[in-house]
Chains A and B, each alone.
Chain A
C-alpha cells in the first residue's frame, strides 16, 4: 500500500472551511484514498473515500488531483466537534486487508 504524508497539526477557525492535505505520490492505479477521523478517546470513524473523481457526502468533500498524487479533505463549515485526528489512507481493493493509519493530522477548531 502507498505511503501517505500529512501535516502533523492544523488549526481552523470555527465556521470556516478546513482543508486537510495528504500526499500519496506513490499511489497505484487501483488504490483508493480513504479518510478517517478519531475524536479523543473514541475509535476511528470513516469519513469518505474515492478513487479518481471528487466525492462529497454529508460530512465532507474529497478532492483528488488529476495525477492522483495528492488529495484534500474539506470540511466546509468546521465546528468544535470536528476537532480530531484525521487519517489519510491509501490502499488497494485486493491484497492485504489491513489498513495502515500512520499518525494523521491533528485538527483543532478554534472558537
Chain B
C-alpha cells in the first residue's frame, strides 16, 4: 500500500519559531509537493520538487523554504513562524515520467501559530 507520511498531525508553535514539517514517501516518486489549505481558498501550492536538491516556487512561497536532500523526503521550513501561517499543510508525491498518473497525499499537518 503506497504511503505519504507527514511527521505530525497537529503542531502548535510560537510566533518567531523556526518550524520544520517533514514528509516521507515510499513510492520512489520524483515529484513532491507542499500545499496549504485554508477555508474558502482550496489548496494552494507553496513549493514543489522534481528531483533531489531541486525545488520550484509554487503560488505562495513567501515565508517558506524547502529542502530535498533525499528522494523520499521533502521538508517544508517556516523560517520565522507567523500567525498568518496557521493552516493545514499537505504533502503530496507523484511520479515524474508518468504524467497521466495521480498524486498521493499525506494526512496533513494542522499547524497553529500562537
- A-side residues, CB < 8 A to B, are 32, 34, 36, 41-46, 49, 51, 87, 92-94, 97-104
Contact = CB atoms under 8 A, between A and B. Distances in A.
B92 A97 contact: no
B90 A43 contact: yes
A101 B105 CA distance: 13
Interface of A is mostly: loop
Contacts of A32: 100
Given A41-B108, A43-B107, A43-B108, A49 B45 contact: no
Interface of B: 4, 31, 33, 35, 40-43, 45, 48, 50, 56, 58-59, 90-92, 94, 96, 99-100, 102-108
Contacts of A49: 100, 102
Contacts, number: 59
Q: What are the nearest 9 A-B pairs in CB distance?
A: A93-B99, A43-B105, A46-B102, A101-B43, A103-B42, A98-B45, A44-B105, A101-B42, A102-B42
A98 B100 contact: no
A100 B45 CA distance: 8
Nearest to A30: B99
Interface centre among A49, A92, A97 (most CB of B within 10 A): A97
